[in-house]
Amino acid sequence: MKGKPGAIFDLDGVLVDSSSFHLEAWRLLACEEGFPVQVTESWFRDTFGLRNDAILATLAGRPLSSSEVARLSRRKEELFRELAQGKLRPLPGAVELVSGLQRAGVLLAVGTSAPRANLEFILGELGLSGFFTCTVTAEDVVWGKPDPEVFLKAAQGLGLPPWRCVVFEDAEAGVEAARRAGMLCVGVATTHPPERLYRAGARLVVGSLEEIRVTRLLELF
């Protein structure tokens, strides 16, 4: 194997399960704003992984101006961080896999639809702040997943061609984004069933990152 490969991690549903805090934050925001859409677990699953501008249009039930989107996004993420402070835990196998890949010389990145403030908050809470060479967030892209922009920018930040990168994703939109970027994708079936991740283009699907062995992963290249 010539040269170092790269591994790009989605955040929510892959490194951490923060879904309950996001769900409650959306509920509180909808209540504060008097939005007509009922924030249910089904609604949350359908919008999980999308950028806030897309989610807010669904939540408000009407088109929103860019200033409204910015204000509402800031408020929702403030609520999320208030709710999650001191309560976040890494998903099984996440810390071990990230540290194992780093020891093996794999270049590491995060490619997420989350805003940068949330990414920095979560990595700090998990003790993973120093592991990633490159991080790409909602502020860094024009197009959200399933567009491949987030992963292409992460590969560029690592100095690698797309085909030298593997993506870890839990959502169909993210798996499709990885496929469209020309990258291998490992689906993590924490929020979506394996068959849907395979259908979206995952090369391999696991129930948790505990199932991944670094040597087996490197063989995928």
The residues assigned a catalytic role are 10, 12
CA 84 to each of CA 27, 35, 49, 97, 175: distance values in angstroms, whole numbers, following the listed order: 15, 23, 18, 23, 26
CA 66 to each of CA 7, 24, 70, 71, 153: distance values in angstroms, whole numbers, following the listed order: 33, 24, 6, 9, 24
**E-assigned strands of the chain?**
6-9, 107-111, 134-136, 165-169, 184-188, 204-206
Q: CB atoms < 10 A from the CB of 82, how many?
A: 11
Q: What distance in Å separates the CA atoms of residue 154 and residue 133, rounded to the nearest whole number?
A: 9
* 114-135 burial: b if 16+ Cβ within 10 Å, else e: bbeebbebbbebbebeebbebb
Two structure tokens written together for 136: 């790409």
DSSP annotation string for 42-78:
HHHHHHTTS-HHHHHHHHHTS---HHHHHHHHHHHHH
Q: With both helix axes pointing from N to C terminus, report the angle between 66-84 and 116-126 in degrees, rounded to the nearest 10.
A: 10
